[in-house]
Chain A
Amino acid sequence: MSGITPSQTVGPFFAYGLTPNEKYDWKDTFSNNLVTPDASGEKIRIEGRVLDGDGKPINDCMLEIWQADAQGRYANPADKRSLPNARFHGFGRIGTDENGAYSFATIKPGSVPGPNGTAQAPHIVVAVFARGMLRQSYTRIYFADEAGNASDPILALVPAERRDTLIAKRAMKNGHPVYTFDVNMQGGAETVFFEI
């Protein structure tokens, strides 16, 4: 048995390698659009900003998201259930802009199994990377319009007064559902991060 390789910061210059987004002479492996032609479910946009302890935008941050499809199934061999949306991979990546802003276009995930036969409310797992972060921080996006939040086994582990930081607010913009989710590294509204 060997110890694992330690994490190091993604640094300030990752964009040309990991999120070139046509600004550099390198191809993107991933994008912030997870929607595939075969994906059933509600198409949504998630947007927000990443802010530091002074409330300043973090403009050199990378967010990665991992989620189930609308039926609550993960595109991974560890999820043994059949995957109706075969082309939906459930993974997205984006670098924040000069305002610390990001967005994802995706499908609202379904409920997925939780510990001990419970059901988890629909959610998206988020990994936050940036200059000044020696390791990624994990958080979760839940959805304000989901009744299942009240019985979600993971939200139940979060102090009640902090749960709100994990819940994206829904609004309609130009007829399309948009959820807002800010990542506050510190401050009164500091986002809940998980040790996983």
Chain B
Amino acid sequence: MTFAFPTESLEVFPARNYPDYKSTVKRSPTKPLVMMPHTLSELTGPVYGQDAVQPGDDDLTRQHKGEPLGERIIVHGHVLDEDGRGVPNVLVEIWQANACGRYIHVVDQHPAPLDPNFTGAGRAKSDKDGYYKFITVKPGAYPWGNHHNAWRPAHIHFSVFGHSFVSRLVTQMYFPGDPLFPFDPIFNSVKDEKARLRMVSSFDLDNTVPNWALCYRFNIVLRGRSQTPMEH
């Protein structure tokens, strides 16, 4: 199957220069982007062998001697293309703060404890139907310096590869009903409300495991539409 990647689909993406998120101002191009047709270089992208993901990489609660503190959760869903078809065998990488809202990264020095049993990184590969699943703990909100009393809503960072290098996506998964949504410029940089809500996971009672973990569903839709093969 061959795929097309219409640039119109990008209209829901945030503006590169979005002054409410201050760091964008000096880090976004000022000159118009150059439009170009997709060539073989854009229509292809990295493909992974089975060795990219090791058993256990998808369980962030089992990477250390003990279990991390916090609310254990299952995060799962499908990686889909724009036709709603599952995208098989793609790498999904996640990273997140711990239950206290603290990242293990050396630059995060805000006064919340690190958890010796939690790194906060995971990876998984979508199966033949595009399905992926992680086990982790629910991350906390955390403060940042963008404006007075700025707090990021709880989120998990997602990095996903698709059919081509132009379907490459880095995004953030949020949790339903977060009271910080109205105040977060990163979340609100997506102007289209329906598109914004596609970044919010849904509570998935059916897949909650009784006496063990709550569950959230997060489907990820990547660029790519099937296209009738052309004669060459």
Contacts and interface: CB of A to CB of B under 8 A. Distances in A.
Contacts, number: 248
- Determine which residue in A7, A29, A125, A127 has the highest number of CB atoms from chain B within 10 A of its CB, and name it: A7
Given A4-B9, A12-B107, A120-B39, A78 B2 contact: yes
A124 to B, nearest CB: 9
Nearest to B79: A5
Given A10-B170, A157-B34, A16 B95 contact: yes
B16 A196 contact: no
B69 interface: no
Interface stretch (A38-46, A143-151, A171-179, A185-193): A185-193
B229 to A, nearest CB: 11
Contact of B157 (A10, A26, A52, A127): A10
Interface residues of B, number: 88
B41 A66 contact: yes
A53 to B, nearest CB: 4
> From DSSP, what is the main secondary structure of chain A's interface residues?
loop
Nearest to A79: B44
A6 B196 contact: yes
Contacts of A196: 5, 7, 36, 38, 42, 166
B39 A18 contact: no
A17 B120 contact: yes
A76 B157 contact: no
Contact of A6 (B31, B83, B199): B199
Contacts of A22: none
Contact of A64 (B83, B168, B195): B168
B141 interface: no
Interface in B183-232: 186-187, 189-190, 192, 194-196, 198-199, 219-223, 225
Nearest to A162: B31
B22 to A, nearest CB: 8
Contact of A186 (B29, B46, B168): B29
Given A52-B27, A134-B189, A26 B36 contact: no
Interface of A: 1-18, 20, 23-27, 29, 52-54, 56, 58, 60, 64, 66, 68, 74-79, 89-91, 112-115, 120, 123, 125, 127, 129-138, 140, 153-154, 157-158, 162, 185-186, 190-196
13 contacts: A3-B195, A3-B198, A13-B108, A53-B27, A66-B44, A91-B46, A125-B42, A129-B170, A132-B27, A133-B27, A135-B14, A136-B168, A196-B38
